[in-house]
Amino acid sequence: MKLKKVLIKIAFLAAIAPLDLFAEVTFKARLFSRQKNQGESKTQVLLFETKKIYKTDAEGYFDAVVPSPGIYTFRILRVEDMQDIKGNVEASGQTVTLYTDSGSDSSVASPKTKEPKGTITVSAERDKPILSRTTIKYEEIKRMPGTFGEPLRALETIPGVVPSAAFGGGANNYVIRGSDPNSNLYLVDDLPILYPFHFDGLSAVVNANLIKSIDVYTGVFPSNFNNALGGVIHIDTVDKVDKSQKNLIISAWSSSVSYMSPTFGGKGYLIASARVGYLDRFVQGLTSALGADFPEGLRLPRFVDSQVKFVHNFNEHHQFSFHSFYSKDDFAANLPAKYQNDPANDATAAFAGASISSGQGFRTQALRYTWKPINTFSNRVTLISYDPFTDFNVSFGSIQGKNRASGAYNGVRQDAFWDPNKYFSAEFGTEYRLLNYYSTGSSIIQSDPNNLSPNPYDTQSPDFTTIPTDIKAKGSYYNGYLTTKIKLGGLQIEPGMRYDYIPYVNNSAFGPRAQASYKFGQGTTIFGGGGNFFRFPLDTRFNKDSGNPHLDFEKVFKYGGGIEQLLAGDYQIKGEIFKQEYSDLIVDDPYITDPIGTNPDPYGRIAQPYIANKKLNYSNSGTGWSRGYELVLRKNSRPGTRNWFGWITYTWSQTFRNNNIFTPDPGSAPLSAQETQIAAEFYKNSKETLYDYDRTHVINMVFGWRWSQEWQFGARWSYLTSRPFTPIVGDDGGRFSNPANGQTYWVPQYANNPALGEYINSRRLKPYHRLDIRFDRFFNYEWGYVNTFLEIVNVYLRENVGGEDFDNTKPYSKTNPSPSPTFGTIPLPGGVIIPFFNVGIEVKF
């Protein structure tokens, strides 16, 4: 009986086997873009039902096999995304064309999923001004060499933008056209963040996979942006999620994870990410592996950050969203006191016994409701809670204190967009903030804030004093803005205005601005514009206890213009000239006083509530200007193609500042307190000098090429004129010592004599330049891809320097000070130097 059953099964299988063989279909398929009128070459395609991967040829064709006729899913595997297309396979020998353009009406294939009904299209895609604005494509900058996978690092290659510190790693902020790096405005989805990079200078505070695009305004910017003298960096996060995605990135000093998924049947989406940094462990481990010593008691920076965005479309008229951005950084040093230590073998000998910890962070949360009753009008209301903070705890000679400060506020903001026709559009809005600024702990005040060489161990006349503080500054803030756009043929005019008012200081600012452009045909555009822009600090410098309650808004008048030419083959040329005139800049002022003021010492205030000639510490005396021109030659990339892309940028600029503070002439007799006060009031003799962040020449060359689905190569070369510095001309004679270890502390003396050509920022060192390269290897699977990468910084081992380094354990000599090296190389035992490098792996599900 068993034998009979076995024979029956064999006979059955033999009968149906020819049927399976007969049903197999061999066919040819092609990926084709109607918009580009060409096939997509060298692209991998996963046939989802059979789990087989094919690669297209130079014309976009590939041969495939399916078990039987039917409708199949073809998953196109690109670096920037994955696209599912349905294809109908009917018979062997057939050619199936898979159209990859969105909106294709092909009956053979359906491209990317269309937006579900009820989705609101908000203002992110509106026309943007051409003057002083650069838009960065995410796919061009995600893997740019020297950026360590951080799209924000790629902003260093934009004309007019340079890092505030060492180029690349170590830079926590940007100098935009010569402005103070702390005067920039950073926004994510039109919401504020305190800083763009963590303490390590390598990692951005926004996960790369959440970024859709970045707009950088280096000069004139629209009226909806405020509180910036420098530039505006606006990051748009992902605004559409068709399918769930998971991403994991592990590098030498940080790891991150991100998640995206559609929600409620495609009516909305959720994106979230988190990251942790461990540079301290990486450097200590690397130092130990190389056989070197790491300074005892020093802990390098750590950080954590997270971003969450949830969007839900109730219907085509109503949208709700929730946003949360968080970041926290800290570092610490608790340097041991070692008597009779050897400074040559102890880099921290001059600071032995010091205990320092510092941190910063922010928390931004918002609820946003968008109402779009008709296609030509939408209104957006945003509830914002913003809490930036800084803290420190320091014990270092006469510098003693701890403090935590915040410029927090809660507010409501309204933005409306009206596009009645093709000739006219308008944007207008208002905002109310409830300010809750505070500073608790103690304030460390330098007796002369303009003294370049204060001595922390001076026990006779200390250069620092500590005052207990418990400062609270609560109040309101109002603003309103209007921007209009008028289009007549190739002419576009954008007049706008903005008004800001802070009742706490009874201070207001009105800023008119305008831009205009004219486009000739399809390729040439000329443009120009100007306006007044203002900033008020998000801190307690204007409080009545330890600051100046009479401070005004800082101001800059920006103007400029240029020409842009689009060429065949995705080429673009753009040139722009600019000038910026600064006034009412807030500076440290050791002389400004109130005739009578509240005693800033909360304990001394009990016995003496008021004091005469109370120091206000800050004034609006600063002025300055910057000017220059920028040139760009760009080869744009096309998504889905294998063509190379890149750009060359050149910036020439000059930047000057003048604090307009009384400065005693070198060699003159000391003045009495009364004489000093009179001189400070009527003899503001400080000189206009180069600004600390001036860079005369800046060149960037960027190249990227994805020559196959598996490999990508990128290169970047950068050149910068070094920053100016004040030369060191001597020391103080080593009059004081570190009491923790008896080490003599030599204080440098800086040049201050314009007659000798040596004064503030009168010298530069050799220029900075370096070459960075990156190799990416991709492994594509049906569930996603794995990307392994190697990044090499400073390939030709250029010994770049950032300024002068003075060793406080030694007197002034021919070798002290010495040039200070910058980021870019790794010294090994035995004097061998290798380039800085980064290796890592990215997994996308």
Report pLDDT for 384: 97
For residue 314, pLDDT beyond 80: yes
Higher pLDDT, 563 or 838: 563
Do 792 and 801 form a contact (C-beta atoms < 8 A)? Answer: no
DSSP 15: H
Interval 697-719 mean pLDDT: 89
Interval 220-245 mean pLDDT: 90
Q: For a pLDDT cut of 90, what percent of the chain falls above it? A: 36
Separation of alpha carbons 159 and 153, rounded Å: 14
For residue 114, pLDDT beyond 70: no
Residue 80: pLDDT band by 50, 70, 90 thresholds?
Answer: low
- Give the class (CATH, top level) of 260-844: mainly beta
DSSP 36: T
Do 629 and 575 form a contact (C-beta atoms < 8 A)? Answer: yes
Separation of alpha carbons 807 and 149, rounded Å: 35
Most confident of 146-155, 240-249, 621-630: 621-630
Do 552 and 501 form a contact (C-beta atoms < 8 A)? Answer: no
Q: Which residues contact 794 (CB under 8 A, 6 or more apart)?
A: 770, 771, 772, 800, 824, 825, 835, 836
Interval 528-535 mean pLDDT: 95
Residue 642: pLDDT band by 50, 70, 90 thresholds?
Answer: low
Report pLDDT for 559: 95
Specify burial of residue 287 (Cβ count, 10 A radius: 0-12, 13-18, 19+): middle
Report pLDDT for 491: 93
Higher pLDDT, 436 or 643: 436
Interval 647-661 mean pLDDT: 94
3-state SS track over 72-87: EEEEEECCCCEEEEEE
- For residue 763, count other CB atoms closer than 10 A to its CB: 16
For residue 640, pLDDT beyond 80: no
Interval 88-111 mean pLDDT: 62
Domain span(s) for CATH 2.40.170.20 in the chain = 260-844
Report pLDDT for 103: 44
Coil, helix or strand for 642?
A: coil
Tokens found for residue 174: 């940007």
Residue 751: pLDDT band by 50, 70, 90 thresholds?
Answer: confident
Q: Please report where in the chains the tokens 């009917």 appear, as a residue.
A: 90
Separation of alpha carbons 430 and 444, rounded Å: 38
Rg (CA), the chain: 31
Coil, helix or strand for 673?
A: helix
Coil, helix or strand for 248?
A: strand
Residue 309: pLDDT band by 50, 70, 90 thresholds?
Answer: very high
Nearest to 638 by CA among 587, 569, 714, 703: 569
Do 630 and 132 form a contact (C-beta atoms < 8 A)? Answer: no
Tokens found for residue 769: 């330049």
Report pLDDT for 120: 55
Q: Amino acid identity, residue 349?
A: A
Report pLDDT for 641: 55
Residue 21: pLDDT band by 50, 70, 90 thresholds?
Answer: very low
Report pLDDT for 171: 66
Residue 16: pLDDT band by 50, 70, 90 thresholds?
Answer: very low
Q: Which residues contact 486 (CB under 8 A, 6 or more apart)?
A: 423, 424, 492, 493, 494
Report pLDDT for 13: 31
Residue 532: pLDDT band by 50, 70, 90 thresholds?
Answer: very high
Do 618 and 541 form a contact (C-beta atoms < 8 A)? Answer: yes
Q: Which residues contact 595 (CB under 8 A, 6 or more apart)?
A: 612, 613
For residue 57, pLDDT beyond 80: yes
Mean pLDDT of the chain: 83
Report pLDDT for 11: 34
Do 414 and 435 form a contact (C-beta atoms < 8 A)? Answer: no
Do 737 and 744 form a contact (C-beta atoms < 8 A)? Answer: yes
Interval 592-610: pLDDT, tens = 888 877 777 666 777 777 7
Do 795 and 835 form a contact (C-beta atoms < 8 A)? Answer: yes
Separation of alpha carbons 824 and 801, rounded Å: 10
Domain span(s) for CATH 2.60.40.1120 in the chain = 25-99
Report pLDDT for 290: 67
Q: Which residues contact 541 (CB under 8 A, 6 or more apart)?
A: 547, 548, 551, 586, 617, 618
For 47, what's the count of Cα atoms within 13 Å in the CB-facing half-sphere? 24
Interval 251-266: pLDDT, tens = 777 888 999 999 998 8
Report pLDDT for 203: 85
Nearest to 159 by CA among 626, 632, 554, 538: 632
Report pLDDT for 342: 61
Determine the distance from the C-alpha atom of residue 36 to the mean position of all C-alpha atoms in its chain, rounded to a whole number: 34
For residue 96, pLDDT beyond 80: yes
CA angle 257, 258, 262 (to 5 degrees): 155
3-state helix, strand, coil in the chain (%, to 5): 10, 55, 35
Higher pLDDT, 105 or 540: 540
CA angle 173, 179, 185 (to 5 degrees): 55
Fold observed for domain 25-99: Immunoglobulin-like (2.60.40)
Do 351 and 334 form a contact (C-beta atoms < 8 A)? Answer: no
Interval 471-529: pLDDT, tens = 887 889 999 999 999 999 889 999 999 999 988 778 899 999 999 999 887 789 999 99
Evaluated on CA atoms 214, 216, 220, 224, the torsion sign reads positive
Tokens found for residue 61: 């064709």
Report pLDDT for 339: 56
Interval 432-454 mean pLDDT: 85
For residue 116, pLDDT beyond 70: no
DSSP per-residue letters across 149-169: T-GGGGGGGSTTEEESSSSST
Separation of alpha carbons 695 and 652, rounded Å: 8
Report pLDDT for 137: 67
Residue 656: pLDDT band by 50, 70, 90 thresholds?
Answer: very high
Report pLDDT for 780: 79
Coil, helix or strand for 5?
A: helix
